[in-house]
């Protein structure tokens, strides 16, 4: 099944790239082919230690190879060429395993040096896509054809719509991530610290930390109010009440992005109720999804849901409308309700409105919203409403007019609990949504 769906995926990519060249050439460029570079290895400043490598997304769209200095050449009507650079090296293992299910789709040219590519390139006017213009120059590609923006805009926009092969990878990545989340929750309830919970997730998924699609967020109690909390505290987790873990898995370059919040019986009763209602809110948002819906409307629904919870839990006085008018829900959910997902966790093209690169900025009341697209069938994104008690956002409001609507006594009681986020990965289908995450949850 993987082979057949990957074959279809490559056929679709060839169609997209052919159409992209026709489009940009009609605008005045004259590009016959594209050379995509996975990227170059980089090192920490004044050190000989390499920074963990992540291949360029448009390269990964073709090949499940996360190695530096690999190249994909595409020319319409021709079999794609994979220039596989395997340096002569006895310090590191440079071997690249070529599985038949994907290798059969390419003409593979194995070389030992990047500089050798130039004499193997067909005689075409070729654009370079990648992070290193110096590499393009050495190969002989003129600067005008290095990362031409009309071409990148076209390809970025199209990445939001997934093939069946891509959906298979995302489903598997979600299934594996849920194994990790179950282990993490069990570890938390047994009294583990952040480091131990993090290790429990990695072990259950059978991955190294560097193989994760992003740095795991493993936050206990008040740290769960730090949206991208990066540490893994090793100190004993004494009387911890809340765990927020945002962690995923990567399969053939495609990453899941899943967040779960757990509490134990000692958590504040209001916080426990908020978590139960946030779980319901997230599923309610997913149920609204359908082709043709603007993603901003989903975000607006999330803010309305937060406003409702603020009133229902006596965290604020006034009506839901009052809170929305004064943008109080944003104090408790300062991020967007989600983002495009695929090869990159925050995938490209989230603000684009068409293949030309025209964009739609997020609304002024929610500048952190990463997705302003209109939903289309087979688009994949996250849905992740949050509810946090963040002192840096809330404290300045104590002396302000809108702060008079906030129940500060209850907020002070809930500060130690941190926050809540519930996140699933969603595919848009013809009559609604496929929840790529929940289908694997026991």
Tell me the per-residue pLDDT of 114-128, one tens digit each, with 9 for 90 and over: 999 999 999 999 999
Distance separating alpha carbons of residues 403 and 106, to the nearest angstrom: 62
Q: Which of 140, 158, 176 is the last residue of a domain?
A: 158
424: left (phi over 0), alpha (psi -120 to 50) or beta: beta
Percentage of residues of the chain with pLDDT beyond 70? 100
* pLDDT at site 264: 97
pLDDT of 1 higher than 70: no
* pLDDT at site 441: 84
Distance separating alpha carbons of residues 243 and 419, to the nearest angstrom: 9
For 68-114, the pLDDT digits (tens) are: 999 999 999 999 999 999 999 999 999 999 999 999 999 999 999 99
For 178-233, the pLDDT digits (tens) are: 999 999 999 999 999 999 999 999 999 999 999 999 999 999 999 999 999 999 99
The DSSP bridge pattern shows strands 107-111 and 81-85 to be parallel
**Residues 102 and 195 reside in one and the same domain:** no
**Residues 123 and 260 reside in one and the same domain:** no
For 337-390, the pLDDT digits (tens) are: 999 999 999 999 999 999 999 999 999 999 999 999 999 999 999 999 999 999
Q: Which of 137, 158, 179 is the last residue of a domain?
A: 158
How many structural domains comprise the chain?
Answer: 2
DSSP string across 60-74: HTT-----SS-EEEE
**Residues 30 and 149 reside in one and the same domain:** yes
pLDDT (average), residues 402-410: 97
Q: Which of 134, 158, 182 is the last residue of a domain?
A: 158
* pLDDT at site 91: 94
**Average pLDDT score over the chain:** 97
pLDDT of 254 higher than 80: yes
Total-model pTM: 0.97
**Residues 101 and 183 reside in one and the same domain:** no
**Residues 189 and 146 reside in one and the same domain:** no
Distance separating alpha carbons of residues 55 and 210, to the nearest angstrom: 13
DSSP string across 142-168: -GGGBS-HHHHHHHHHHTTBPPHHHHH
**Residues 316 and 256 reside in one and the same domain:** yes
**Residues 335 and 246 reside in one and the same domain:** yes
Given a contact cutoff of 8 angstroms between Cβ atoms, the answer to whether 373 and 350 are in contact is: yes
Split at pLDDT 50, 70, 90, the class of 27 is confident
Give backbone dihedrals phi and psi of 115, rounded to 5 degrees, phi first.
-60, -15
> In sequence order, what are the residues at sequence separation of 6 or more whose Cβ sits closer than 8 angstroms to the Cβ of residue 357?
149, 150, 153, 154, 156, 157
* pLDDT at site 29: 86
For residue 218, what are the domain limits?
A: 164-440
**Residues 389 and 313 reside in one and the same domain:** yes
Buried b (16+ CB within 10 A) or exposed e, 157-193: bbbbbbbebbbbbbbbbbbbbbbbbbbbbebbeeebb
**Residues 331 and 204 reside in one and the same domain:** yes
Token representation of residue 377 = 């069938």
**Residues 142 and 237 reside in one and the same domain:** no
Distance separating alpha carbons of residues 63 and 60, to the nearest angstrom: 5
Q: What CATH number is given to the structural domain containing 291?
A: 3.90.230.10
For 263-322, the pLDDT digits (tens) are: 999 999 999 999 999 999 999 999 999 999 999 999 999 999 999 999 999 999 999 999
Q: What CATH number is given to the structural domain containing 125?
A: 3.40.350.10
**Residues 288 and 341 reside in one and the same domain:** yes
**Residues 131 and 225 reside in one and the same domain:** no
Distance separating alpha carbons of residues 272 and 275, to the nearest angstrom: 5
């Amino acid at each position: 099944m993987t082979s057949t769906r990957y074959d279809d995926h490559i056929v679709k990519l060839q169609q997209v790239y052919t159409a992209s060249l026709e489009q940009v050439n009609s605008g005045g460029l004259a590009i016959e082919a594209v050379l995509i570079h996975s990227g170059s290895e980089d090192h920490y400043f004044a050190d000989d230690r390499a920074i963990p490598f992540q291949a360029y997304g448009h390269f990964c769209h073709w090949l499940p190879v996360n190695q530096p200095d690999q190249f994909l050449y595409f020319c319409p009507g021709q079999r794609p060429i994979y220039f596989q650079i395997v340096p002569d090296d006895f310090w590191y293992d440079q071997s690249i395993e070529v599985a038949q299910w994907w290798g059969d789709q390419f003409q593979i040219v194995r070389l030992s040096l990047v500089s050798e590519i130039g004499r193997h390139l067909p005689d075409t006017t070729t654009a370079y896509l990648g992070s290193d213009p110096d590499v393009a120059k050495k190969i002989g590609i003129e600067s005008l054809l290095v990362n031409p923006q009309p071409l990148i805009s076209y390809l970025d926009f199209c990445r939001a719509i997934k093939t069946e092969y891509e959906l298979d990878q995302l489903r598997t990545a979600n299934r594996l991530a849920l194994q990790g989340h179950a282990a993490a929750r069990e570890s938390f309830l047994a009294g583990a610290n952040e480091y131990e919970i993090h290790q429990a997730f990695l072990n259950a998924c059978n991955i190294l930390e560097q193989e994760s699609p992003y740095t795991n967020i493993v936050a206990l109690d008040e740290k769960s109010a730090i949206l991208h909390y990066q540490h893994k505290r090793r100190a004993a987790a004494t009387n911890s009440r809340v765990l927020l873990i945002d962690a995923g898995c990567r399969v053939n370059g495609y990453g899941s992005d899943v967040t779960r919040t757990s509490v134990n019986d000692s958590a504040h009763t209001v916080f426990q109720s908020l978590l139960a209602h946030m779980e319901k809110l997230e599923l309610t948002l997913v149920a609204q999804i359908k082709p043709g819906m603007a993603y901003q409307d989903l975000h607006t629904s999330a803010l309305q849901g937060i406003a409702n919870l603020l009133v229902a839990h006596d965290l604020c006085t006034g009506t839901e409308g009052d809170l929305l008018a004064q943008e109080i829900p944003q104090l408790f959910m300062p991020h967007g309700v989600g983002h495009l997902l695929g090869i990159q966790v925050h995938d490209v093209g989230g603000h684009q409105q068409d293949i030309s690169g025209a964009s739609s900025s997020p609304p002024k009341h929610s500048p952190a919203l990463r997705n302003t697209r209109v939903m289309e069938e087979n688009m994949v994104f996250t849905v992740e409403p949050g509810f946090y008690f963040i002192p840096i956002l809330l404290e300045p409001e104590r002396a302000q007019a809108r702060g008079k609507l906030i129940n500060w006594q209850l907020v002070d009681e809930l500060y130690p609990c941190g926050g809540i986020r519930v996140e699933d990965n969603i595919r848009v289908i013809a009559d609604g949504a496929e929840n790529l995450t929940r289908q694997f949850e026991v």
